[in-house]
Chains A and B, each alone.
Chain A
């Protein structure tokens, strides 16, 4: 399993559109199960609704865990996406 942390810098946090884009990005890496954790809550990052319901805001740190598939590549791609969009 590969894990990394990321602190959201986008002023409005993970709202509808970036959440959708993030889900899309993760979907493109079939074979990897991705979990996003904030505090004690964890969600399957493919579940758009669950992701949006976490209400992740600017300044909050999330932990992304990738399991299965090409873990390193998936994690790198997600991290790049987060840096570019959030």
Chain B
């Protein structure tokens, strides 16, 4: 009978001690992997009895429910639906379980975590917006047609109301209620507030007089960081209240107080602080581009994408509009274009180089969108997540901007500029009809994107593929094949690690030495890599990654790193393979940090035993 996935997920959830007790969920080929806050709240017995759960165990801070291939993903989907949790990759679960990441890394990671789930929305919109906004530059009068108006609405919805998407996603990431998160996001772009894009020095938002302080009636269109901060605060308040408010009144007190406190904090602290910061950046940018010899322009070209990350780029309209009214030429635009187009180049390099299909499918449309001047998908979806492409883009942007500023000579304050655009708000390819020197502009874009592309191509490497994808064995085979150390009627077993081979009796552990677990040998390791001793199947990888078992033609082999190293709980050990993997002789199985084993006070002898040697004939150990 087919398993009722929904029922299975609901039953599992009912025994987990409530949503608050689940930190994150992921699944691998066979198991549902959950990070649980408090194991004592679990009903293990009941969990084992849930139909569809074939077994469970708790290891490395993860509760693993064995559900089975082809089924686990369906149960997982239902589980997410039932719990309202956000999908976490296995890596995320590990991260949550480990939580050992330094703070600055966590902070840098957060915008990425928030953005990844909403990428489909902003990639689609970014691309559409770039195209729609590009058409009028090439087709005269298109912007006055009904088509343009409608397409523009469809295209820019996700961006115009971006804080809502960001808030919902952030609420999931921070463990808040996503509907309350949505309220905060909606509030920040409420139609009653003045649109942040329309604010200029002469068009300031009105304020609400609250007696002893005021609240500026301005929205957060185009903002990311203040929204994430607001939702982080909201989630923290919500979780605290859930814990401390009596259950009877929790349902109305908690959401009410959460929204009210968050709203006040957002509009009186986060918003104003950010707005001061914005004004500094704006003043800084204005000053920076007056620095001569292109230096200021180059710096601006480099830091421009950072201001996009902060959501500050909407203020640059003020600079651009100011330039046009003063001189008729917008020399800011070539800088923004170089910066944006460099992000396109970096993202394109990732799109071409990456092997992971999922990344590729995001990188390609994102880079196209960036070439049309909408860089958010490329920056948040790809470049900023991997960081190196982002930096490559900054360098490309700097060089492109430097080139652009040289094209009109030194730009000391007040001097007339000669290279720029006659309008504002466009960059990249749609900027072509707007500039006063098209060949120069094309060269600039080529320089910016080319440099970013090349640097990314050279310095960015894709993270090692997930463990279950068998690493390419070719590269990992040692130059010389390992010698055979155990032989029997069923076949040969090769030395599993570089180093001196010792007899079983010399292994510094009584149990191994006495042969209780089978015949075998020890290796005093020279490096920290255990390789497969034959072409066979990995039958298990210990959760503590210090031992692995393999099977081939009836030979059952245990490779165990060190003595008593089980106590290190996996610290210092890496697994390159997963249970069930087919491996080739010489392929890497486990990695270990010899220093770490030594520091933990253990012996690092690698033990390889033929555990069923009693059942096999003609077993012979040691080098020939």
Interface residues of A (CB under 8 A from B): 12, 15-17, 19-21, 23-24, 38-41, 47-49, 52-53, 55-57, 59-60
Contacts and interface: CB of A to CB of B under 8 A. Distances in A.
Nearest to B54: A40
A34 B542 CA distance: 24
B556 A39 contact: no
Contact of B59 (A47, A49, A57): A57
Given A20-B517, A53-B539, A41 B57 contact: no
Contacts of B611: 20, 48-49
A52 B48 contact: no
Interface of B: 48, 54-59, 509, 511-512, 516-518, 539-540, 542-544, 547, 549, 551, 556, 558, 560, 566-567, 611-612
Given A38-B55, A39-B55, A57-B59, A16 B547 contact: yes
* Among B58, B560, B611, B612: residue with most chain A CB under 10 A: B611
Nearest to A51: B611
Contact of A21 (B57, B516, B558, B566): B516
Given A15-B542, A49-B549, A40 B558 contact: no
Contact of B511 (A17, A47, A49): A17
A40 B549 contact: no
B539 A16 contact: no
Contact of B48 (A15, A17, A20, A39): A39
B55 A52 contact: no
Q: 10 smallest A-B Cβ distances: which pairs?
A: A20-B517, A39-B55, A53-B540, A17-B511, A20-B516, A48-B611, A49-B556, A15-B566, A12-B566, A24-B516
12 contacts: A15-B542, A15-B547, A16-B517, A16-B560, A16-B566, A38-B55, A40-B48, A48-B517, A49-B611, A53-B540, A57-B58, A57-B59
A47 B558 CA distance: 13
Nearest to A57: B57
Contacts of B517: 16-17, 19-20, 23, 48
A30 to B, nearest CB: 13
A55 B543 contact: yes
A49 B612 contact: yes
Contacts of A39: 48, 54-56
B549 A52 contact: yes
A15 B511 CA distance: 12
Contacts of A20: 511, 516-518, 611
Contact of B509 (A17, A48, A60): A17
Contacts of B518: 20, 48
A60 B539 contact: no
Nearest to A11: B567
A41 B611 CA distance: 21
A7 B272 CA distance: 59
Contacts of A21: 511, 516
B128 to A, nearest CB: 50
A16 B566 CA distance: 9
A41 B55 contact: yes
A38 B547 CA distance: 21
Contacts of B516: 20-21, 23-24
A16 B55 contact: no
Contacts of A49: 539-540, 549, 551, 556, 558, 611-612
A49 B551 CA distance: 10
B58 A52 contact: no
Contacts of B612: 47-49
Contacts of A55: 57, 59, 540, 542-543
A8 B562 CA distance: 23
B57 A60 contact: yes
Nearest to A22: B516
A20 B255 CA distance: 56
A56 B55 CA distance: 11
A48 B611 CA distance: 7
B178 to A, nearest CB: 34
A23 B517 CA distance: 8
B116 to A, nearest CB: 32
A55 B516 CA distance: 19
Contacts of A12: 544, 566-567
A23 B515 CA distance: 12
A49 B550 CA distance: 9
A60 B612 CA distance: 26
A17 B611 CA distance: 12
A17 B556 CA distance: 16
A56 B542 CA distance: 11
Contacts of A41: 54-55
B558 to A, nearest CB: 6
Given A21-B511, A48-B517, A52-B549, A16 B567 contact: no
Nearest to A18: B511
B592 to A, nearest CB: 15
Contacts of A60: 57
A41 B517 CA distance: 22
Given A40-B55, A48-B558, A52-B549, 18 more contacts: A12-B567, A16-B547, A16-B560, A16-B566, A17-B509, A17-B511, A23-B517, A39-B48, A40-B54, A41-B54, A48-B556, A49-B540, A49-B551, A49-B558, A55-B57, A55-B542, A56-B57, A57-B59
B546 to A, nearest CB: 9
Contacts of A47: 612
